[in-house]
Structures are given as C-alpha cells and as structure tokens.
Structure 1
Amino acid sequence: MSTLHDFIAEHREIFASAHPQSRRLAEAGSAWRGGVPMHWMRDWATPFPIYVASAHDATLIDADGVAYDDFCLGDTPSMFGHARPELAAAVARQAGEGVSFMLPTARSNAVGELLRRRFGMAQWQVATTASDANRAVIRWARAITGRDQILIFDGCYHGMVDDCFVALKDGKPVNKAGLIGQVVDQTRTTRVIPFNDMAALEDALKTGDVAAVLAEPVMTNCGMIAPSPGYHARLRELTQHHGTLLIMDETHTLSSGPAGYCGVHGLSPDMFVVGKAIAGGIPAAVWGVTAEVAARMDAAQARIGPGQSGIGTTLSGNALVMAAIETMLTEVMTDAAYAHMLDGAARLVDGLRAVIADKALPWSVAHVGARAELIFAPEAPQNAADMRAVLDHDMLEAFHLYLINQGVLIAPFHNMMLISPRTGFDAIDRLVAAVAQFSEDLPK
C-alpha cells in the first residue's frame, strides 16, 4: 500500500523530470550560500528551486517553460499582479531622471497626501522594508512612552525584527530558534501571549509598563487565524486605558480592502505599518502615526536634539520608491481592483468549502479579504498553539508538490492563497479542481 512518503517521493520525481533546466541552474548556483540569493527561496517543497523566466499578471513561467497559476505572488509583494505596465512605465521614467538623492521631490508631497487620505494617519515616513518600519515604530513607541516592554502574539511575524522573535513553548516565553547570533535575551523586553485570549491580554497590560502592542489584525504567519468577535474592540479599549500604543502591521492584510483591514473594520491604531505590496514589489514600506503620536515623537526628538534618532536608512523614501508608491495608490490599488480580488476570493472559498463538504474531508478554510487558507483540520484554530498542533509538515509538502506539478503555486510556508486583480476565475476553478483531485489521489 502506498504511503504519504511514497506519494511525496513520486511527485518529487515527477517534478525533477519536468524541470531539467531548473535543475541545471540550481547546480550552477554555488556562488550563493544555499544555492540561492536568499535562503527562503529554498523553502519550497520541490527538490530544487523553480527558476523563473518571467511573470505577467497572475501567471509565472519557469525556465523550463512551465506555466503556473500564481496564488503566492511573491508572498504578497506582487499582490496586484506581476509586471504591471503602469508600474513598469513609472519606474522606467524615474530611473531616467535619477533614483536616489537623499532629498525630496515634488512627488513626495503628493504621495504623503495620498497615504493620509487612504489610511487616515496624520503623518508618515518611508522605510525600505516592513522589517525596518516595524523596528522604527517599536523604538519610537519606547521613546515616547518611556517604557521598555512590548507585547506581541504567539506565532506572529513582523519581518526581521529581533524583538518579535519570541514565542510560547509550553506556555512560557522563549526566544525563537531562528534568532541566530543574537546575544540579548529578547524575553526581557518582549511579552508574548496567545492571540484571541482576552484574559491573557488583560493580564499582560495591567502592569502599565508596556510601550506598545504590535499586531496583525489577522494573524497570517503560522496559518491564518482570525480575531474572535469583540477581540479588536477589547484590544483598543485596554491599550487606551493603560497608556499603551497600538501598532497594526497590515503588510499582509492590505489585501482586505483599499485601506486595509483597519479601513474595512473601522479599527483605529496609533501607528500603522504596511510593506511589500505598497510599491508593487519595489522594496519599500510606509508607516504612519496619529497627530497625537506625531506630537509626542517631536517632543522626544527635542529632548535629544536634531539628527540623533538613528532611525532610518539612506535608501528610504528615494525618488524611485516615490514613483512606485504613487502609481500603486493612484492607478493599481483601485476600488475596481479590490472588487475583483474580493469576488475571486469568495469564489475560491466557496469552491474549497464545496470540495470539503462533497468529499466529507476533515478540513476547513480560513478567509479574510482576498486571502484564503486551506487548513487540514475540521475547525480553524484560534491561536498559534492550536495551529501548530494540526500542521502536518509531510501533508503540507505533499500538497504543495502536488499543486506545483499541476501548475499551481501557493505560498510555500503553509496553505495561504492570494487573489490578485489579474487572477482569472478560470485559474481559481483550476485551483479548486486540483485540491479536489489531491484529496482523491492522496494515499488513504
């Protein structure tokens, strides 16, 4: 009788035989540590990386000429589609006029106003990545509150931010194993609690020494975990009561609507971060603050003197990035684009749930905005510990390999699927059909 490991081995062979060019390129990549420019490029289920030749809209073509319906979209940077002509033209024009000056342009003011109108925050700054932006807001939160503690949620990911590499193990805070080379114990200044646990939230904040809570509105790193009813309202109430700043990282949940999840659901954080897709995949992030927080930042800056914050990088806010962000906000991230994304996601979720019901599968679907996640458990978990308990890594590898061999890409780390404005309903139907076929072909 065939086992799951046999199934995985079979599909590795299918992939390898169909990708001789990617194999050859992988064997020639020895100049890179791990064979690739960034080691996450090896974190797919395939025995060697897929080498990309080109990508347009929501279709990716690899070096062997294999076409894929792309529901990964670079894990969000290309959320609005690959090779958008509007973005390509704007970037080319600005590149011909200079890329980086460490000075603003007239466009900079226009971009600031666009961000203010769309997301509601009074004042803005640009960073090169969401990691940089999250580091900045954490430091500013500590500076203006005079508190050293921050609070995060177990299973979170906010980029390469050391403060956030803390998790719960057997109910106790520990530094994550991935915190390689860090000599400071992050648990001294980072508290971590389960998502959706109101009692734990109240207990963590009642001491009055937490500078900020950093959260995604919906957790998207350890599998998608939606907030329980009333959780965000209670989070806002408690942070205000205890003088703790509330930071929302919408890098992934920007897919919820034109102003992100906060805009759709009326959330009112003190600080707001979004990266990845905001410049269409050009490395950039933005972070905004309320007028009250901006005034407190000014006061903190005045106490130490000008030019001494140490928060920023040379390339942040460069002219190329400004051109990209302006184009995304005015020409690409439109109401019509979001309408298509949300309709497509609804079609995908309905299709997946129909497969689950028709075949009586012990699976479920999590859904927020233009994102969906297939979970190999009958109920969607409400926190990271419960999600870890149902994450079967062999099952995930088998599923991802199977989809890849069917010409479908989803996010490699779990089963998250993202709909772009360029995703056709025919591609969504192919994904649903592939999931149905996987359920039949999977060894019993």
Structure 2
Amino acid sequence: MELNTQHIKDLYAIEQTRFEQTHQKSKAKWEAGRKNFLYGGPSHWMRRWVGGWPAYISKDSDNGYGVKLTDIDGNTYVDFCLGDSGGMYGHGHPKVVEAMVRQASIASTMMLPNEDAEWVGAELERRFGLPYWTFTTSATDANRACIRLARMVTGRKKVLVFSGCYHGTVEEAHVELNENGDVQMRNGIYHNDFPHAELSAVVEFNDIPALEAALRTGDVACVLAEPMMTNFGMIEPITGFHDALRQLTRETGTLLIIDETHTFSNGYGGYTAEHGLEPDFFVVGKSIAGGIPAAVFGATQSVAERIWQALPKVPPTVRQSAHAGFGGTLAGNALTVSVMKTVLSEVLTKENFAQMVALASELAQGVKDTIAAHGLPWHVMQVGARVEILFSPDAPRNAPDVRAGRNGDLDTLLHLYLLNRGVLITPFHNMMLMSPGTTSEDVKKHHTAFAQFAAEVTAK
C-alpha cells in the first residue's frame, strides 16, 4: 500500500497543533532553558523529541513504581523509551530507592570499596562469564578503556566498527560507509581532527568477506561491536556471522569487544550469554545501576594476563600506581556499587526478564495484527524485551537496508501521534523497551494508539 504523502503532512500539522495546545508550560520551561543551556536542556539529546520541545516531567508527580510519568502540563504517559535503556529497571522501584538512600546516608563516594563490591564482582562473572571487571561512569568510558587496553597488548592502532554503529562518544566509531562504500563522518558530525584513516576501519554489519579483508591486514587491535545493532535501527546478525567474527578475530590476533549497553535487554546475561558468544572484553552500561551513570567492562583470563604483563600486579603490601589512562575518581563509587547490587539481585532477575520478554511479544503481536489489518508493508522486529517498527516489508541486514526503509515524515508523525496519546517511544527511532514495571495495560494503551494511527494514515 502506498500512503498519501500530503495526507501524512496534513495529519502532522493537526498533531503539532494539538501538542502545542497541551504542552504550554513545558514550552515556557524550554524557552527559559535556552537562556542557559547550549541546546535548551540539560542534555543536547533532549532536543530530539518531536513537537519542538520536550515534555518536562513534574517533580511532584507520584505514579508509583512502573513506567508512568506525568508532565508539568498534567499530561500522563506510558514510557516505552525508558531513558533510551537507562531506565530499563522501571521508574521509582522501591528497592532501588531504598538502596540509594541507605548508601547515601553513609557515603556516596569515598575512593574506598564497600561491602557490596565483592558480591557485585562475583555476580558479573556469573551472569556474563568473564572473570575480571572494572567500573566506569559510562559505557563510552568503558569502550575507551577496552580500546586502550587492546592497543596496549596488541601493539596495533586500528579499531574496526560496523557502519551505522553507536558506541557513545568513542571517536573511532564516528565513521560510516556512504552509498558508494566510502568512509565518511557518521551523521555528518564534526571530524574533531581525529585521524580516522589511520585509526578506524569500518565495514557493513553481516558482511563477512569485508570483515575478513579488513582483519587480514593485521593492523586492527580490536573489533568494537554490538552483538546485534540497535541504535541505527535493529539489525540482527545473519546465521554464522558471530561464529565468523570470533574465528577471524582469533586467527588475526584481534581482540573482540562486545558492547551490550542496549542488548542487555535480551535477557539475564544479555545476548552474549543467550547465544554463547566469547568476547575478549564485555561492556554493559546505562540500566545496570538503576539510573546512576555507570558501566562496567570485563576481561577474560587470557586478556587479563596480557594486561598484567604491561601493567604488572604487585604484592599486596606494595603501594601501586593505578593510572592506566582510564577510570575516574567517581568510577566504582559506593553508591553505584550498592545500587547495582540491588538491581542485579532484585530487579533485573531471570523471572523479571521472562516477564519483560513476554510483554514485548504481546506488544509485537499487537503491532503485527494492526499492520496486517490495514495491509501496510511494514515490519516488526523483536529481540528479547525490545520491539521496533520499520517502515519496510523485511528485516534489514545492514545499514543501507535501514536507510532504504526510512520515511522521515511518517516516522515523525508516528512519534508525535503516540506522544499526544500518552505513549513515549525512543525519540531517535521507533524502538520500545519493556521493564519489570511494565504491565499488560501499558501495552494495550500502545495498541489502542497505534491502531488509531494506522487507521488515520490509511484513510486517504
């Protein structure tokens, strides 16, 4: 079915008027914020919401634990964005709040470990399979640390990434392939005078021959990859891709970094545990500490031993310089460690992941039913507790496939249409995430709004 493009524009104009009428207090806050914030709000990401300004969430609202939010204009929402994964544990979990208050009343940060550290370290090994761990304050920092260590132990410079990837503000990952297969800056961002030609390699996801050709040059220190792509659009690995990735990296002496900052939503041990991957480094951040800025990275036994050769361990009685070119005084602070223990032991459990995946399946099926009922050539992706709607008939294999299926006007209309009906989805693309606090009623609210959307866009 081919949609009427003018009708889409007309619907957007209606929804924009509706948004402006119902978000005037938020508009005033945003305009005031532009006097002091470079891009209007505390984070430049906040300008990505449709409508012209974000909804300001009320500090006085009390929605209990779950995914409900209320803005300062009195609008209520069901949140499927969940802070772009950072809130995957749900909002206001009483155990998380209790852990925050308990540890904060003792000390938030003191550059000393607390009693919860031992349990957290052991749990990270149990879940993700790697024995040695280090805390950072973001997944970006964790990725940077892994890259630094990989270069140190391999003596190589380059980092290989997949076109369309996102790994925070890692400079080496700010490149992509254009339509001609040439390397360019991702999203047209500033190059920052970084020598990408010397330090970055980029190939399309799922392109095993291109991956092999890049690795056989022998100058790649590490591959930095999500096990399946999420930020550019959800792209699953083809059969055999991960086997080839692991085999080729081992054959060429290249270290493999798996970044599960988003794909932790696949389950208890993330995509890595579910599919038996064997990375040299493992990174996970955002949701793991209940919304406190934190991430961790793990290393295998063999990689740890290579690191210790370059940065030797010393006897316990000898004072040691810890400066390795990464870290930070707030990394691994007591507040983060204690809240992480609560999140891992009582919130993001096997039982809760099973519930999250079941709700994601319920949401995905409802969207599929609506798409079929209206004869729309759209596709629904579900991986674990995540769901994404794609305006193309088939699942993408790489970044070009995602680009080919994009429809900017339709995409913007969907986001604004859902927001005006109290449903928040990730503002960057059509991705939805479940939490332990999400309910079937929350999913049904999305079903209702999406069914109305499909009926309206196909009315002409």
Q: Is the shorter-chain TM-score for this pair beyond 0.5, marking a shared fold?
A: yes
1:289 to 299, 321, 340: 299
* Partner deviation per Cα, 1:267-290 (whole Å, 9 max, x = no partner): 111100000000011100000010
Deviates more, 1:177-186 or 1:307-316: 177-186
- The separation in 2 between residues aligned to 1:329 and 1:408, in whole angstroms, is 28
- The separation in 1 between residues aligned to 2:137 and 2:378, in whole angstroms, is 38
Deviation at 1:106, TM superposition (A): 2.2
Name the residue aligned to 2:356.
341
Counterpart check, 1:75 vs 2:84: yes
Q: TM-score, normalised by structure 1?
A: 0.97
- The separation in 2 between residues aligned to 1:340 and 1:187, in whole angstroms, is 45
* Partner deviation per Cα, 1:78-105 (whole Å, 9 max, x = no partner): 1120011111000111111011111222
Name the residue aligned to 1:204.
214
- The separation in 1 between residues aligned to 2:399 and 2:130, in whole angstroms, is 30
Name the residue aligned to 2:347.
332
Name the residue aligned to 1:391.
406
- The separation in 2 between residues aligned to 1:10 and 1:218, in whole angstroms, is 37
Task: Find the residue that maps to 1:247 and give its secondary structure.
Answer: strand
1:23 to 14, 18, 27: 27
Task: Find the residue that maps to 1:323 and give its secondary structure.
Answer: helix
> Aligned letter for 2:18?
I
Task: Find the residue that maps to 2:100 and give its secondary structure.
Answer: helix
Which blocks of at least 5 consecutive residues in structure 1 are unaligned?
none
* Partner deviation per Cα, 1:238-267 (whole Å, 9 max, x = no partner): 111111111100000000010001111111
Task: Find the residue that maps to 1:223 and give its secondary structure.
Answer: coil
- The separation in 1 between residues aligned to 2:153 and 2:25, in whole angstroms, is 54
1:193 to 195, 203, 215: 203
> What do you get for the CA RMSD once the two structures are aligned?
1.6
- The separation in 1 between residues aligned to 2:174 and 2:219, in whole angstroms, is 20
Counterpart check, 1:150 vs 2:159: yes
Deviates more, 1:425-434 or 1:149-158: 425-434
The answer (yes or no) to whether the contact 2:387–2:433 under 8 Å persists in 1 is: yes
Name the residue aligned to 1:267.
277
> Aligned letter for 1:326?
K
Name the residue aligned to 2:338.
323
- The separation in 2 between residues aligned to 1:386 and 1:346, in whole angstroms, is 24
> Aligned letter for 1:414?
H
The answer (yes or no) to whether the contact 1:174–1:187 under 8 Å persists in 2 is: no
- The separation in 1 between residues aligned to 2:255 and 2:39, in whole angstroms, is 40
> Aligned letter for 2:228?
V
- The separation in 1 between residues aligned to 2:191 and 2:76, in whole angstroms, is 40
The answer (yes or no) to whether the contact 1:165–1:178 under 8 Å persists in 2 is: no
Pick closer, same or farther for the CA change 1:135–1:178 going to 2, 3 Å.
farther
Q: TM-score, normalised by structure 2?
A: 0.93
Name the residue aligned to 2:117.
108
The answer (yes or no) to whether the contact 2:222–2:255 under 8 Å persists in 1 is: yes
The answer (yes or no) to whether the contact 1:175–1:186 under 8 Å persists in 2 is: no
Deviation at 1:433, TM superposition (A): 2.4
> Aligned letter for 1:161?
V
Task: Find the residue that maps to 2:45 and give its secondary structure.
Answer: helix
Structure 1 residue ranges (4+ consecutive) displaced by more than 6 angstroms after TM superposition? none
2:169 to 147, 160, 164: 160
> Aligned letter for 1:232?
H
Name the residue aligned to 1:240.
250
> Aligned letter for 2:399?
A
The answer (yes or no) to whether the contact 1:175–1:187 under 8 Å persists in 2 is: no
Deviation at 1:357, TM superposition (A): 1.6
Task: Find the residue that maps to 2:311 and give its secondary structure.
Answer: helix
> Aligned letter for 1:159?
G
- The separation in 1 between residues aligned to 2:141 and 2:421, in whole angstroms, is 37
> Aligned letter for 2:7?
T
The answer (yes or no) to whether the contact 1:127–1:286 under 8 Å persists in 2 is: yes
The answer (yes or no) to whether the contact 1:246–1:269 under 8 Å persists in 2 is: yes
* Partner deviation per Cα, 1:347-398 (whole Å, 9 max, x = no partner): 1111111112221101001111000100001112110112112212111111
Identity, in percent, stands at 47
Deviates more, 1:270-279 or 1:106-115: 106-115
Task: Find the residue that maps to 1:236 and give its secondary structure.
Answer: helix
